[in-house]
Amino acid sequence: MKYYFADRKSNILGVGSTDGKGEWRIDNDIETQSVDNRPAVELSLDIHFTTDQEQAVNEMAKATNFIMYQDEEGNARQMVIESVDHDSLGHIHSIVASDAGNDLINETVGAFKADKPYTIAEYITRFTNDSGWEIGINEFPDNVRTLEWTSEESSLARIIAVAKDFDAVLSFGFEFVGTNLVKRVINIRHETAGDSLISFEMNKDINNIVTHRDTYDMETSIKAYGAVPESTDGSTNKDPINLIGYNWTDPTGQFVLDQYGFLHDTIAVQKYSRLLSNSNPNPTQSDWNRVKTFDSKSQAALLQAALADLKKYNHPNETYDIDLVNSPYVPLNQTVHIADENQQLFLSAKVLSIERCRANHSVKLTLGEFAHETVSFDERLSELANQMANMPKTIQYYPWLRYADDDKGTNMSAFPTGKKYMAIVWSNKSSVPSDNPADYAGKWALIQGKDGADGVPGTKGADGRTSYFHTAWANDVSGQSGFTVSGGDGKKYIGTYSDFTQADSTNPADYNWALFKGEDGDQGPKGDQGLPGA
């Protein structure tokens, strides 16, 4: 990994490397990201120097200067050096830096009450005005909210609060031409929580598992209070909202709201009631009761808040400290799997923080939000493999994908370069796509528009609505790497979907992805010798 050090004007002062090559040797570089601290990224590292380099390292890597690099996922980073420890005897210059987006913490915004619904981009633009930041990727272009803040706070805290209200995740992006920063963007994305399909096993990937259990926050019923409602007649009402008189029935029958505003868990009380005994094995009274206050402004919202709280705390709290020997890089909020055969302990967990050290080629994950699994992850994979092996093999369909200059298949090709039309045919004849345009008749769709932003209109359905066929291209099967809707040159994967919206989605998760450009084949056999020249 190479780190570029620059002054406040982005003039490059030096380049450090973790591979021991070059003028400056970098060691102990740790990049930290966490779910709770998004969109911030933190970096600490040590720079080794000689006596002759001491003045230069102090100038190159001083507080307020920049560090620039590109991570393994292709994200350009610009970090601001926040603190420096200079060890003259040990010849080590240690720095701590944070994402340049954290500079928004130095900007203060006041109280604000929206006069109408605004989009997330409009809110963020308002609260970062004149900061040099622009909106980058925006996966929430049409969602609107009417929001209010009653006090001052930093610009960074405000846009994080906005993102929370929209259930969005922010990240800072930097665009460089060479080493010159040309644009700073705030990206607005959907949460990418999903299953990483990665499993860690005790005595193989895991050194130790320490289990913690406690009942400090446990409850089997809750008395919930909300916000104080605003007065509509000028009175000074100070009583907060409660659930008395609210009518609600749980379709599962597990949760019951009584006439006094208490929400009960009828199953949990049978397990943990103080009246539980051999003579009373299924008690329905003597709850573990808690009184809690939420910021809900209606009984409906308060009920949902209380219900979520009761589901979270209706059992003893259980957490785990898991010492991983080593681990691959797993994105934040992705699910991993834990297996300890000796304890018959099988867990799923979310990645809450990542520490990545390029110099040591190591990744440290902090896991949380543990959930028990009834069988090991490997057993479920094995079961799925067996099911797939036993599926009928009499009919197997393969996707045939071809490109052409027009809807007649003229100059048909396996590659999209310079082509305006695409056809997909599912065939049970062969896994190798046909090169006969007749096999694709009636399947051609225009894919190369003027701006790559709109889908291809289909015929109107029975209700008169027009459906649109959308395509995108990317470098991997998730669509996250190199995503584009403006042509597939150099891309290996194509994504498609249909809906009734003309504009192409910018969310890779909306597309069904398939490989359309395989690896280069082996070199063919040597041909016969040609005829002698004249």
263 and 202 within one domain: no
What's the confidence (pLDDT) of residue 235?
67
What's the confidence (pLDDT) of residue 451?
43
Lookup: tokens for 343: 């304890």
In DSSP notation, 304-354 reads HHHHHHHHHHSS-EEEEEEEES------TT-EEEEEETTTTEEEEEEEEEE
DSSP state of 58: H
119 and 95 within one domain: no
Model-level pTM? 0.57
> Which residues, in sequence order, are CB contacts of 374 under 8 Å at separation 6+?
346
340 and 208 within one domain: yes
532 domain-assigned? no
201 and 329 within one domain: yes
530 domain-assigned? no
260 domain-assigned? yes
Cβ count near 62 (within 10 Å): 16
Residue finishing a domain among 336, 369, 389: 389
112 and 88 within one domain: no
DSSP state of 431: S
pLDDT tens column, 385-401 = 555 555 555 455 667 88
Q: What are the angstrom distances between the C-alpha of 238 and each of 223, 230, 295?
A: 18, 9, 14
The number of domains in the chain is: 5
pLDDT tens column, 71-111 = 888 788 889 999 999 999 999 999 999 987 777 888 899 99
Question: What's the chain's average pLDDT?
Answer: 83
What's the confidence (pLDDT) of residue 509?
82
pLDDT tens column, 108-133 = 999 999 999 999 999 999 999 888 88
325 and 199 within one domain: yes
What's the confidence (pLDDT) of residue 426?
76
Q: Residue 422 pLDDT > 70, yes or no?
A: yes
Smallest Cα–Cα separation from 66: which of 84, 82, 78?
78
356 compared with 399, residue with greater pLDDT: 356
111 and 93 within one domain: no
Residue finishing a domain among 341, 370, 389: 389
321 and 204 within one domain: yes
What's the confidence (pLDDT) of residue 207?
87
What is the rounded CA–CA span in Å between residue 302 and residue 298?
6
159 and 261 within one domain: no
What residues make up the domain containing 304? 221-313
113 and 98 within one domain: no
What's the confidence (pLDDT) of residue 397?
60
What is the rounded CA–CA span in Å between residue 411 and residue 189?
39
182 domain-assigned? yes
227 and 148 within one domain: no
324 and 276 within one domain: no
What is the rounded CA–CA span in Å between residue 426 and residue 396?
10
Q: What is the largest CA-CA distance in the chain?
A: 110
What is the rounded CA–CA span in Å between residue 415 and residue 412?
9
408 domain-assigned? yes
Interval 149-154 mean pLDDT: 92
What's the confidence (pLDDT) of residue 452?
47
What's the confidence (pLDDT) of residue 67?
94
Task: Give 3-state DSSP helix, strand, coil % of the chain, rounded to 5.
Answer: 15, 40, 45
Contact 437, 443 (CB under 8 A): no
CA 18, distance to chain mean position in Å, is: 28
CA 507, distance to chain mean position in Å, is: 12
Interval 371-376 mean pLDDT: 68
What's the confidence (pLDDT) of residue 462?
44
534 domain-assigned? no
Residue finishing a domain among 82, 103, 124: 103
155 domain-assigned? yes
Beta strands in 63-107 (DSSP E): 66-70, 76-87, 92-99
524 domain-assigned? no
State which amino acid sits at residue 344: Q
